[in-house]
């Protein structure tokens, strides 16, 4: 941390912010807002740990790239770099594309910096070196390949028993370095860990590990084992990467959050961490999940900077959409309406039926007829039947239907 203290002590100037905006192809004052008091300025000027609680259309990835562009021109710490992590390759590629358009920004894409996914970072710097030190070379890190290989380690009789319990190879996911599979529901109870079948599951998973085949989630387990046995590894990572940026942090799993916190935050000399995300756009890895990482929730109210003004829609839609969010951010719509819509009041039709005889299919078809191209825009979600209009989704419930349609004035008059 001492290596970058001088560059962090210098306040970020308007000249630097305007230069970053211009390098991204934006107007020089794009981050200042109409009144020069946009919350994005607080984000760009901050050199401490923060959580950027963004909203749809707030440009959080653009904001992150602008911060990196500013840092890239200041960075002079030898052998130390910034670590930029995203949940998916899509987000990583977007960051690389935008940084690559600027000569100074391209410096962040190479040593000593790191831009990549969480799994890519953990694999490269922790899990794979640890496995190699144990004499294990990774052949494939792929859920489908690994689970299929584990499945065929079982005997035919064992596979039949699993299938008869309405399970498949997805059962063969480990939860710790001993290749335990956790509690497994079986028949009317739980499968005892001491049964030959459970022991066969463990043996199959252990064999694939020795052969170098892993699921993606397994790598967090091996990284955790490395940190357990070599605590000094944490200090080495922090010395190499004294600043951590996380994009789309709302999608992080509990396992990912735990490892990242152990690597960068827990204990002495935590790094400067800046997280960017929108909890109302979270995508969970399992159907049973209803919240993000519990051990390291986002945003932390102590360091949160809300960015609730959106360039994606105007004030009318912001007023409608804000109370419908899981966590209403107080949306502010900044987008200007097209000239042909000026002076026209949009209408809204909200339909909710929850009766057992709601006639959901007919209701959806009625909405489908009302929503014509150029005359109305559909908003909402329906799930259930397979013959509903594609405007809503592949399915629409027979017993419950909730439609939200935003109608323009022409449809309203009709």
Provide, rounded to the nearest whole percent, the portion of the chain with pLDDT above 70: 74
97-105 contacts: CB < 8 A, separation 24 or more? 98/24, 98/61, 98/62, 98/65, 99/65, 99/68, 99/69, 99/72, 101/23, 101/24, 101/25, 102/23, 102/24, 102/69, 104/23, 104/69, 104/72, 104/73, 105/23, 105/65, 105/68, 105/69, 105/72
Question: Is the pLDDT score of 376 beyond 70?
Answer: no
10 Å Cβ neighbour count for 329? 22
Q: Which of 33-47, 124-138, 348-362 has the highest mean pLDDT?
A: 124-138
At which residue do the structure tokens 């009709």 appear? 414
User: What pLDDT was estimated at residue 287?
Assistant: 46
| Global pTM exceeds 0.75 | yes
Q: Can you tell me the mean pLDDT for 262-266?
A: 96
For all residues of the chain together, what is the average pLDDT?
Answer: 81
10 Å Cβ neighbour count for 286? 7
DSSP H/E element including 84: strand 82-86
Residues 336, 32: Cα–Cα separation, whole Å: 17
pLDDT tens, residue by residue, 128-138: 999 999 999 99
User: What pLDDT was estimated at residue 319?
Assistant: 73
Q: Can you tell me the mean pLDDT for 237-243?
A: 96
Question: Is the pLDDT score of 182 beyond 90?
Answer: yes
SS3 184: coil
User: What pLDDT was estimated at residue 353?
Assistant: 44
Which pLDDT band holds residue 284 (cuts at 50, 70, 90)?
low
Q: Can you tell me the mean pLDDT for 93-108?
A: 84
């Amino acid at each position: 941390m001492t290596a970058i203290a001088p560059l962090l002590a210098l306040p970020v100037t308007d000249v630097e912010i305007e230069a970053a905006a211009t390098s991204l192809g934006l107007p020089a004052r794009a981050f200042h807002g109409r009144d020069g008091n946009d919350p994005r300025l607080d984000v760009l000027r901050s050199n401490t740990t923060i959580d950027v609680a963004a909203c749809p259309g707030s440009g959080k990835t653009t904001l992150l790239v602008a911060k990196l562009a500013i840092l890239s021109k200041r960075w002079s710490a030898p052998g130390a770099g910034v670590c930029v992590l995203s949940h998916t390759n899509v987000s990583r590629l977007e960051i690389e594309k935008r940084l690559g358009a600027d000569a100074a920004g391209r410096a962040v894409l190479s040593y000593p910096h790191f831009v990549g996914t969480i799994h890519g970072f953990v694999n490269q710097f922790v899990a794979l070196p640890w496995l190699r030190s144990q004499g294990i070379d990774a052949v494939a890190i792929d859920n489908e390949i690994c689970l299929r290989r584990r499945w065929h380690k079982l005997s035919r009789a064992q596979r039949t028993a699993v299938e008869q319990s309405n399970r498949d190879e997805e059962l063969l996911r480990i939860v710790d370095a001993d290749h335990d599979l956790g509690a497994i529901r079986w028949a009317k109870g739980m499968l005892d860990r001491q049964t030959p079948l459970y022991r066969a599951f463990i043996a199959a998973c252990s064999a694939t590990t020795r052969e170098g085949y892993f699921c993606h989630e397994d790598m967090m387990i091996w990284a955790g084992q490395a940190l357990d046995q070599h605590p000094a590894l944490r200090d080495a990572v922090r010395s190499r990467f004294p600043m951590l940026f996380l994009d789309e942090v709302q999608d992080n799993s509990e396992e990912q959050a735990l490892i990242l916190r152990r690597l960068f935050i827990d204990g002495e000399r935590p790094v400067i961490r800046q997280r960017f995300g929108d909890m109302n756009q979270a995508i969970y890895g399992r159907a049973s999940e209803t919240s993000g990482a519990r051990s390291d929730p986002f945003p932390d109210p102590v360091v949160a900077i809300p960015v609730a003004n959106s360039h994606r829609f105007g004030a009318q839609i912001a007023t409608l959409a804000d109370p419908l969010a899981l966590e209403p951010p107080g949306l502010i719509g900044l987008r200007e309406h097209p000239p042909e819509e000026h002076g026209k009041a949009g209408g809204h039709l909200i339909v909710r039926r929850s009766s057992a005889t709601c006639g959901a299919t007919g209701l959806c078809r009625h909405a489908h007829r009302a929503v014509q191209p150029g005359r109305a825009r559909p908003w909402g979600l329906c799930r259930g039947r397979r013959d509903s209009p594609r405007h809503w989704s592949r399915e629409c419930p027979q017993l419950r239907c909730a439609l939200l349609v935003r109608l323009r004035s022409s449809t309203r008059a009709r």
